[in-house]
Structure 1
Amino acid sequence: MLVELGLLVVTLFLWLYWYIAKNFGKWEKLGIPCISGSFPWGSHKEILTQKKHLNDIFKEDYQKFKEKDYFGIYLLGKPVLCINSVDLIRDITVKHFNNFVNRNDSNLNGMLEGGDMDQLWKNQLTSLENDDWKDVRSTFSPIFTSGKMRSMYKFMKEIGSRLTNELETKAQTKSDFELKDVFGKFSLDTLATCAFGIDPDSFKDKDNKFVKAAARVFINTFSDNIKAFSRFIPGVKKIHKFLNYSIFKPKETKFFTQIIRQTIEHRRKTGIRENDLIDLMIDCIKAEGAGEETEVDKLDANANKDIHEQYEKDMQFTHHVKQRQFNEDIIVATSLVLLVAGYDTTGMTLSFLGYEFGKNPEVQQKLQDEIDQAFDENGGEMPDYTTIQGLPYLDSCIHEALRLHTPVGNLFRACNADFQLPGTDYWVRKNDLLSLSAIGIHHDERYYPNPSQFNPDNFSKEARQSRSPYTFLSFGQGPRACIGMRFALLEAKVAIAMVLRKFNFLPSNKNPEQLELEPTSQLGYIKNGLYSNIELRA
C-alpha cells in the first residue's frame, strides 16, 4: 500500500512539474530577452514567498530591460510578454483595443471559478470579458459623468468636514498618527455614503466593521496565495465550484454583499431615492436599450480639459448593446469593486500626499496659496464643484502622487486573437498574456526627470505636452481604464482642499529614511504604515 501511495505521489509531482515547466524556454527559443523560469514559481520565487512586493519586482524587471521594447518572464508556468514601449502600450490599450479587450487570460480568470462569493468577483468589471464586459461598461459608464459627480459633491464635502474634525484632534495632541488610518476612513465613508446611502461614521466608531473588512480584502497572506495558486492545477477549480468553496476573502465579501443586497431591497420596497450610485445603477438597468449603438464615455471634463482630453477621448468606444436583462449580481459585483478598490487606492493616495507635503513644505505652501485663493473668491467657503475641478496645481499634486507611489505596478492584457505587434516581427497568439509596466515607466528618467523625487511640475501643461500621454498609467489607458477615475480624483481633491485650508502636514520621525513596500499588501502600501504630524495653520 505504501509503495502504491508513493508511486501516486511521485506521479502527481512529475505531472505537476511537467504542467508548470512545459512552457519554460519559450522566450529563449524565440530570442526574446527574458528572465528564465524555475519550478515551481517561474521567474520570481518572491511572488510565492512574499519576500518582496510585486511592484518592486516589476520595477526591477523594467530597469533590467528598459532599453528593450519588450521582454519575457514566466508567471509560475505562464509565459508573459512585458511591454516597455510607450508606443506599443498605446497600440495595445487604444489603437488595437479590440484585440486586447480582456484583462486576464483564461488561466487567471479561472482563479475566480469557485463558490458563490468568488463568482461575485468574477462578475466585476475588472474580470468580465469580451461582450459581457462591454455590455456592463456601456450600461454603467453614464453613472460617472460630470453631471452625476456634481450630485455626489455635497456628500464628499460632508465627510470632508468629519475628516478635518479628526485632524483637528490630532493637531491638538501634537502626536504622530498613521495617515491611512485617517484617510482610509474618509475614503470608505465617502464611498459608502455616495454608493449606498449608508453612513458607517468610521471616525467615531474605532472598531468599525466596514474599515476592518475593507482592509482585509487588500491583504494577501501566504495562505491566501497558496489557495489562489492551487486553482492553476487542472480540476481544482471545478472541485471548489462543486463544493461551493470560496477562497477570495469570503467572509468580507459576504459582509459587503449583504449590505448591498439589503440596500437594493430597501430601495425597491420603499421607493426611496438617495441619488447615490446604487440608485444610478438601478436606473441604468431600467433604461437599458434593445440593441442600440452607444458611444461610451463621452468627453465631459469641463475643467482641466487640456489635461484630460486625450485620456477621456481614448476611453470612448462604440458598442452594440445586446438586449439583455442584468440580474442583481451585476449591481452587487460592480458596487463591491467600487467600494473596496476605491477605499484602498484613494486612501493610499491621500496618505502619500500627506507624507510628501510634510517632506516638501514648499510644495505644500504653493498648493495652499492656490486653495486659499479659491476659498477667498467664494467668501471663505468651500469652492463649488467647477472651481475645485479647475485647480491645476491640486490636480498636478494628485497625479504626481499616483506616479511616484504607483498603486498597481503593472496592467495585464490578454490577446483575443493572433496579432502582430506593430513595428515588430513578433506575433502575439490568442490567450497570450501581456504585462504593461506602469511602475517602470513612472520611474523612467526619460519621461520624468529625477523620478524618485516628488515634483508636481511633472504634470504641468508644458511637461505633459513634452511626453506621450501613455507614460501615465495609474488609471490604465483606453476603454478599459478605471471607470471610477472621475469619482476618485474628485474625492481626493475635496479632501486635500479642505485639509490644507486649515492644516500643515509635518514630517514624522516614525518613518524610515527609505520607505519599503509591505509584501502582503495587494496594492503598494508601506511596511509598518506611513506617519505624519499636523498643525493648525496660523
Structure 2
Amino acid sequence: MCEMLVSVCQIDMWLFVVTVLVVLLTALILHAWRKQHYWQRRGVPVLPYLPLVGHTMYNMNVFKVGHLWRYEEYLKSRGERYVGTYDYLTPSLSIQDPQLIVAICIKDFDHFVDRRNMDMTGTDTEVMNDSLTNATGNHWKHIRNQLTPAFASGKMKDMFHLVQEQSTTLMSSLRQRRDANCLVNVKESFNSFTLDVIACCAFGLETNTLGGENKEFMEKAVDLFKITFKAMVKFILFLLFPKLVKFLRISLSTPALRYMEKVVRDTMVARRNGVRRGDFLDLLLDARELTKEQEGEVDPKGVKKGGLKDSTIVAQCILFILAGYDTTANTLCFAAALLARNPQCQARLRAEIAARIEGNESGKLTYQDVMECKYLDAVLSETLRMYPPAHLLERKCTKDYSVPDSDVKITQGMFVTVPVYSLHRDERYFPDPDTFLPDRFMPATKNDIPSGVYLPFGAGPRMCIAERFARMEARLALADLIMNFDLSVEPGSEELKVSKEFGILRPDPASLNLILRDAASNAAGATGAASDATGAA
C-alpha cells in the first residue's frame, strides 16, 4: 500500500513538473509571438525572420553573409519606405527611403542623437565609455565639440607630412615584398601602413611595422579585431543582461585593449615635457586642461564646458585604431583590386597625378594636390560605393518620433537601421551598380546622386568625424601606388571576392601583380594618357 502511494506521489510530481514546464513554454512562446508581431499589428511589412532570435542570426552571418542577405531582401521590398526587423524579440525599423534617411540622420537628428552603445560603467573597460562612438547625449556632444577642431582642414594639412613619410615607406616595402613573379599580398602591406599612420598621428609613436619592427604592437592591433567564441558570448550576454555581467564581474577587457591603454598613457606622460609633433595626440592634449572657472559648468543646451579628461583622450586614441585601421586598409585593397581590373581607369588616374607632380618643384604631391585631384577622389568614392566598410548604419531613438506621412511611431529606445550596401547597389540611384565607374563621382555628375543614398561615412552630426583624414590617407597611398607600379590581377583570381567574416566588408586575401615603374616611363606616358583621359571625361 505504501509503495502504491509513493508511486502515485511520484507520478503526480512528474505530472506537476511537466505541467509547469508546458505552461512556462507556452507562456514563452506566446510572449515571443506577441513581441515578434509588433510591426505586423501596426501594418508595417516585416522581413522574414526566425522565432525567438528574429533577424539577429542573419546580421551575424550565421546563415548567410549579412550584407548579401539584406541586399536580397532589399530587392524584394525596395518599394517600401521602411520594413520591420527584430533584434531577438526587440522591434527595430530598417529605413529604405532616402528622404526618410535624411530626416532621421540630419533634419530630425535631435530625436536620434545616440548610436547603439554599451555602458561600461563598473567594468574593467570603463574607459571606453568616453569613446566618441560609445558616448551618448550631452556627453557625446561635449566630446564631439572638443574633437571637431582636430579634424579641420588646417590640422590635416599639418599632419600631411607624417602620412607622406609612411606612404613612402609603404612603396619601399611593396618593392621588397614582391616575389619572383612580382606578386604581393597587398593586404598585409596596407595593414601595416594604416597601423603606422595611426601610431604616428594618434599615438605619437614611430612603430615601423612596415619594416618588420614593433611586432608586438602589430599583434595587439590585430588582436583587437579578433572575434573569438568566448568574446562573442560575453558580448551577447552584456547586450542582453548587462547588470548580471557587472554583478558577476565578468571581464570584458582583453590583453590587446589593456596594452593599447598603457601605450597611450605612457605616451601622454612622456609628451608632457617632450617635443610637440603636431599630431592628433598633441591636439587632444591641448584640449585637456579645464580652467577652474569652466569646471562643472554647462552651456544653455546642457553640454559641459571645458576640456577633455585623460580617460577621454585614451579612449579616442584607441578608437582611432578600432575605426581607422582595418577600414582604411580594406578600402585601399578594394581600390587597388578594382584598378588592377580596370586598366583604362588606372591609366587615367596616373595621368592626372603625373600632371600634378610635373608642376611641383619638389617632384612630390602636396596636400593641395591630393585633395584637389578630382579623378583620384572619384576612384576612392566609387570604391566606397561598391564596398562600404560599414554596410549597415544604425541610430537609437532618444525621444518618440512620428514617421512623416505615416501612422508609424518610433518609440524612445528603439533602433533604426539603414542598409548602406543595398542603397549603394540600387540601380535606381547608381545605374549598372556592379560596374566600377568612377565618373559617377566627377564634378559634372556627382550632384545628380540623390541625398541619403551614398553613406560610406554615415550621415548627419553622428557621421564619421575622421572622414577628411581617412580620405587624405587613402588618396595619398593610392596615388603613390599608381605612380610606382602598374597593377594587374593574379592569374586565376579575376573575380573580386569579399570575405565571409562577421563585421565590416573585407576582401578575401589575394595577391596583385605589381610591375615597377620608373620616373621616365611616368613622364613619357603622362602626355598621351592625359589626352586619353580628357577624351574619356
TM range (shorter): 0.7 to 0.9
Partner of residue 430, structure 1:
412
Separation of aligned partners in 1, 2:216 and 2:182: 26
Partner of residue 519, structure 1:
501
Partner of residue 524, structure 2:
none
Q: After TM superposition, list the pairs within 5 Å mapping 1:348-427 onto structure 2.
A: 348-379=330-361, 381-427=363-409
Between stretches 86-95 and 212-221, larger displacement belongs to 212-221
Structure 2 residue corresponding to 1:286, chosen from 279, 285, 289: 289
SS of corresponding position for 1:26: coil
Between stretches 507-516 and 147-156, larger displacement belongs to 507-516
Assess if the C-alpha contact under 8 Å between 1:171 and 1:534 holds in 2: yes
Amino acid at match of 1:368: R
Q: CA deviation at 1:452?
A: 1.0
Separation of aligned partners in 2, 1:278 and 1:208: 22
Separation of aligned partners in 1, 2:513 and 2:208: 23
Partner of residue 233, structure 2:
226
Assess if the C-alpha contact under 8 Å between 2:61 and 2:500 holds in 1: no
RMSD: 2.8
Distance change (3 Å), C-alpha of 1:9 and 1:138:
farther
Distance change (3 Å), C-alpha of 1:163 and 1:429:
same
Q: CA deviation at 1:147?
A: 0.9
Amino acid at match of 2:108: H
Assess if the C-alpha contact under 8 Å between 1:415 and 1:431 holds in 2: yes
Separation of aligned partners in 2, 1:189 and 1:15: 55
Separation of aligned partners in 2, 1:49 and 1:390: 39
Q: CA deviation at 1:57?
A: 3.0
Amino acid at match of 1:420: S
Assess if the C-alpha contact under 8 Å between 2:182 and 2:515 holds in 1: no
SS of corresponding position for 1:138: helix
Structure 2 residue corresponding to 1:238, chosen from 228, 240, 243: 243
Structure 2 residue corresponding to 1:100, chosen from 84, 108, 112: 112
Separation of aligned partners in 2, 1:357 and 1:395: 13
Separation of aligned partners in 2, 1:13 and 1:363: 61
Deviation per residue, 1:379-435 (Å, 9 max, x gap): 362121112111100111111111101111111111111111122222111111100
Assess if the C-alpha contact under 8 Å between 2:127 and 2:314 holds in 1: yes
Amino acid at match of 2:118: N
Partner of residue 530, structure 1:
510
Structure 2 residue corresponding to 1:492, chosen from 465, 474, 483: 474
Assess if the C-alpha contact under 8 Å between 1:58 and 1:409 holds in 2: no
Structure scoring higher RCO (CA < 8 A, sep ≥ 6) equals 1
Partner of residue 313, structure 1:
none
Amino acid at match of 2:266: Q
SS of corresponding position for 1:227: helix
Q: CA deviation at 1:141?
A: 0.8
Is 1:50 aligned to residue 62 of structure 2?
A: yes
Distance change (3 Å), C-alpha of 1:320 and 1:148:
farther
Separation of aligned partners in 2, 1:253 and 1:72: 36
Deviation per residue, 1:331-367 (Å, 9 max, x gap): 1111111122100111010010110111001111100
Aligned residue pairs, count? 503
Separation of aligned partners in 2, 1:12 and 1:209: 52
Partner of residue 146, structure 1:
153
Q: CA deviation at 1:242?
A: 3.7
Distance change (3 Å), C-alpha of 1:16 and 1:174:
farther
Separation of aligned partners in 2, 1:272 and 1:19: 62
Deviation per residue, 1:30-86 (Å, 9 max, x gap): 111112443342135344563433322332332221111100111222211000111
Structure 1 unmatched ranges of 5 or more: 294-317
Assess if the C-alpha contact under 8 Å between 1:177 and 1:533 holds in 2: yes
Amino acid at match of 2:73: D
Distance change (3 Å), C-alpha of 1:122 and 1:39:
farther
Separation of aligned partners in 1, 2:290 and 2:314: 18
Separation of aligned partners in 2, 1:284 and 1:258: 20
Separation of aligned partners in 2, 1:466 and 1:80: 31
Which structure is larger by alpha-carbon Rg, 1 or 2?
Answer: 2
Structure 2 residue corresponding to 1:186, chosen from 181, 187, 193: 193
Amino acid at match of 1:536: L
Q: CA deviation at 1:276?
A: 1.3
Distance change (3 Å), C-alpha of 1:8 and 1:169:
farther
Q: After TM superposition, list the pairs within 5 Å mapping 1:96-135 onto structure 2.
A: 96-104=108-116, 109=118, 112=120, 115-117=123-125, 119-135=126-142
Partner of residue 277, structure 2:
274
Q: CA deviation at 1:468?
A: 1.7
SS of corresponding position for 1:72: strand
SS of corresponding position for 2:395: strand
Assess if the C-alpha contact under 8 Å between 2:42 and 2:408 holds in 1: no
Assess if the C-alpha contact under 8 Å between 1:51 and 1:519 holds in 2: no
Structure 2 residue corresponding to 1:256, chosen from 250, 255, 260: 260
Between stretches 434-443 and 4-13, larger displacement belongs to 4-13
Distance change (3 Å), C-alpha of 1:321 and 1:216:
same
Separation of aligned partners in 2, 1:15 and 1:257: 46
Separation of aligned partners in 2, 1:276 and 1:418: 41
Partner of residue 301, structure 1:
none
Distance change (3 Å), C-alpha of 1:363 and 1:499:
same
Amino acid at match of 1:59: Y
Distance change (3 Å), C-alpha of 1:406 and 1:92:
same
Q: CA deviation at 1:200?
A: 1.4
Q: CA deviation at 1:232?
A: 3.7
Deviation per residue, 1:188-217 (Å, 9 max, x gap): 101110112101111122782233222232
Separation of aligned partners in 1, 2:111 and 2:209: 44
Assess if the C-alpha contact under 8 Å between 2:118 and 2:239 holds in 1: no
SS of corresponding position for 1:135: helix
Is 1:443 aligned to residue 425 of structure 2?
A: yes
SS of corresponding position for 2:329: helix
Normalising by the residue count of structure 1, what TM-score does the alignment of the two structures yield? 0.86
Is 1:166 aligned to residue 180 of structure 2?
A: no
SS of corresponding position for 1:479: helix
Assess if the C-alpha contact under 8 Å between 1:375 and 1:381 holds in 2: yes
Q: CA deviation at 1:469?
A: 3.2
Separation of aligned partners in 2, 1:511 and 1:422: 48
Assess if the C-alpha contact under 8 Å between 1:113 and 1:122 holds in 2: yes
SS of corresponding position for 1:147: helix
Assess if the C-alpha contact under 8 Å between 2:114 and 2:136 holds in 1: yes
Partner of residue 67, structure 1:
79
Is 1:454 aligned to residue 458 of structure 2?
A: no
Amino acid at match of 2:514: I
Q: CA deviation at 1:179?
A: 2.1
